[in-house]
């Protein structure tokens, strides 16, 4: 697990450091942050610091605990997440996490339970976790990550200390992605991912730019000429859920163009195509 945080996470990290120094960090931290924002790195920094045997405000990177963390086999760190994309976090996974929470630390320090995608817990799983959060074991730190805090049981949320991670300004995110990839990045790529830098970076690395362009062009051609529906359908299937998001953004952009507004346009690098689409949809 990464433990090197990103520049836009420094504000939260510094606040957590104060709480760590004062031994006032809540036993259950709930971090609301979108996927692709680097939230697992921030959670990793917190987990590594809690587990570190020589420092309480920053991981020392030298002790046995820190080295085990870096190697990915720390015995006092337990993670719960969906078995595969689109699946829930099972009640069995949460029960296993509860079991680890009550065990004695193998290194004689604290334990950390990290739940990534906490909104994906089913009701039974959430209730199983709730019982442990209500009567937390000593020397155990819970870290819950979620992209949709409203999808969590209110009773679980109420037992946690809630934090919302800020995303960088879109131009800062654009520069960060460009620096990471050593190439120019369209602003619309950042906007397609709601400003989440790591999501935009992964999109480019996985060939998303070409897939997105093909789908947008095919959809606009279909609207204009009423031809190519099969092509649009095929591209949508290949792009899975992302394709539907792209088309929804595209249609919203066209509606804004029709209303004479250029505020919040996602496809900001496709002005001519958008204006043509807006005309054809009128």
User: In this predicted model, what pLDDT tens digit does every residue of 160-177 receive, in sequence order?
Assistant: 999 999 899 999 999 999
Q: How many CB atoms lie within 10 A of CB 182?
A: 6
Instruction: Assess whether pLDDT exceeds 70 at residue 269.
Output: yes
pLDDT in tens, 191-206: 999 999 999 999 999 9
CATH of region 7-164, choose from 3.90.70.10, 3.40.50.300, 3.30.2020.30, 3.50.50.60: 3.40.50.300
> Three-state SS for 252?
helix
Percent of the chain with pLDDT over 90: 76
Q: What is the mean pLDDT of residues 143-164?
A: 94
State residue 127's pLDDT score: 92
Q: Which residues make Cβ contacts (< 8 Å) with residue 85, sequence separation at least 6?
A: none
Report helix, strand or coil for 123.
Answer: helix
CB 200 within 8 A of CB 36: yes
pLDDT over 80 at 60, yes or no = yes
Q: Which two tokens stand for residue 267?
A: 């496809």
Q: Where in the chain is the domain with CATH 3.40.50.300?
A: 7-164
What does the alpha-carbon distance between residue 90 and residue 105 come to, in Å, rounded to a whole number?
Answer: 24
CB-CB contact of 195 with 220 (8 Å): no
The whole-number pLDDT of residue 6 equals 93
181 with 201: CB under 8 angstroms? yes
**What pLDDT band is residue 86 in, cutting at 50, 70 and 90?**
confident
**Across residues 135-139, what is the average pLDDT?**
90
Lowest-confidence range among 49-53, 83-87, 147-151, 178-182?
83-87
Please say whether the beta carbons of 103 and 75 come within 8 A: no
What is the rounded distance in angstroms from the CA atom of residue 200 to the CA atom of residue 77?
Answer: 29
pLDDT value at residue 2: 57
pLDDT value, residue 3: 56
The DSSP secondary structure of 133-182, one letter per residue, reads HHSPPTTEEEEEEES-GGGS-HHHHHTSEEEEPPPPPHHHHHHHHHHHHT
Task: Average the pLDDT over 168-192 and give the result.
Answer: 95
Which ranges in the chain belong to alpha helices (H)?
10-21, 39-51, 64-71, 91-102, 123-134, 154-158, 170-181, 187-192, 197-205, 208-225, 229-239, 241-258, 271-281
- Alpha-carbon distance of 5 to 43, in angstroms, equals 9
Say what the pLDDT of residue 45 is. 95
Taking residues 112-131, what's their average pLDDT? Answer: 93
Confidence of residue 268 (pLDDT cuts 50, 70, 90): very high
pLDDT in tens, 232-265: 999 999 888 899 999 999 999 999 999 988 888 9
| Residue closest to 191 by CA, chosen among 137, 241, 245, 143 | 245
């Amino acid at each position: 697990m990464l433990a090197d945080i990103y520049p836009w996470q420094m504000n939260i990290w510094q606040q957590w450091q104060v709480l760590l120094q004062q031994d006032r960090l809540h036993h259950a931290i709930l971090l609301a942050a979108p996927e692709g924002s680097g939230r697992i790195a921030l959670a990793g920094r917190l987990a590594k610091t809690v587990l570190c045997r020589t420092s309480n405000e920053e991981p020392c990177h030298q002790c046995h605990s820190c080295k085990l963390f870096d190697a990915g086999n720390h015995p006092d760190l337990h993670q719960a997440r969906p078995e595969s994309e689109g699946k829930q976090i099972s009640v069995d996974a949460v029960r296993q996490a509860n079991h680890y929470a009550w065990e004695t630390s193998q290194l004689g320090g604290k334990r950390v339970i990290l739940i990534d995608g906490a909104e994906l817990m089913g009701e039974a799983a959430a209730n199983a976790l709730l019982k442990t959060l209500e009567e937390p074991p000593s020397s155990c730190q819970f870290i819950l990550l979620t992209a949709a805090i409203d999808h969590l049981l209110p009773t679980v949320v109420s037992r946690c200390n809630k934090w919302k991670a800020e995303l960088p300004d879109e131009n800062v995110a654009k520069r960060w992605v460009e620096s990471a990839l050593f190439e120019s990045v369209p602003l619309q790529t950042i906007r397609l991912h709601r400003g989440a830098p790591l999501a935009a970076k992964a999109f480019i690395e996985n060939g998303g730019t070409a897939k997105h362009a093909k789908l947008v062009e095919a959809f606009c051609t279909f609207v204009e000429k009423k031809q190519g529906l099969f092509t649009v359908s095929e591209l949508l299937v290949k792009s899975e859920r992302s394709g539907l998001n792209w088309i929804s953004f595209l249609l919203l952009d066209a509606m804004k163009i029709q209303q004479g507004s250029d505020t919040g346009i996602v496809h900001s690098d496709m002005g001519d195509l958008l204006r043509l689409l807006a005309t054809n949809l009128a």
